[in-house]
Amino acid sequence: MRKLKKKGSFLPVSKFSMENAKLYVIAVIICFHILPMVFVFMGPTGQSVLLNMFMFMVNPMLIFGISFFYGVRLGFEWKFPLMFGILATASIIMYYNFDGMNYMLLAGILCAVVYTLFAYLFTLFGAFIKKLMGGD
């Protein structure tokens, strides 16, 4: 009887463990909770800078950097991008000053979807690069 050999997967996949991901989780907490807190303490000017620059320009770059390097180093695992999206969305709700509750709710939902999707895509991209470089 002939056995079928299982070919390697398209992307390197890893088992999620907090031991391996702790550096990246700490980076997410610093970038999405500690850094915005500094701007909140600056008063209205800092909150304006936070809302205008961070939400649409700096946060996507941070998501790219952290998720990409996670994917390159550890491969793809669906739990990290999900946790990333939850932590990033929590910062939007906690630190960003919106005009009304409706805007905050809408921005929270929108950012939850977009930030989590970005985290998944960039982690996949990093895992693909890892595969191209010959990792796992």
User: Rounded to an integer, what distance in angstroms lies between the CA atom of residue 97 and that of residue 107?
Assistant: 11
Distance CA 88, CA 116 (A): 8
pLDDT of residue 94: 84
Distance CA 47, CA 53 (A): 10
Q: For each of the chain's 136 residues, which pLDDT tens digit applies? A: 444 444 556 666 667 777 888 899 999 999 999 999 999 899 889 888 888 888 888 989 999 999 999 999 988 888 899 998 888 888 887 888 777 777 778 877 888 899 999 999 999 999 999 989 886 5
Burial letters 16-54, b for 16+ CB under 10 A, else e: eeeeebeebbebbeebbeebbeebeeeeeebbeebbeeb
Q: Extract the tokens encoding 17.
A: 């463990």
Q: With 0.75 as the threshold, say if the pTM is over it.
A: yes
Q: Quick one: pLDDT at residue 134?
A: 81
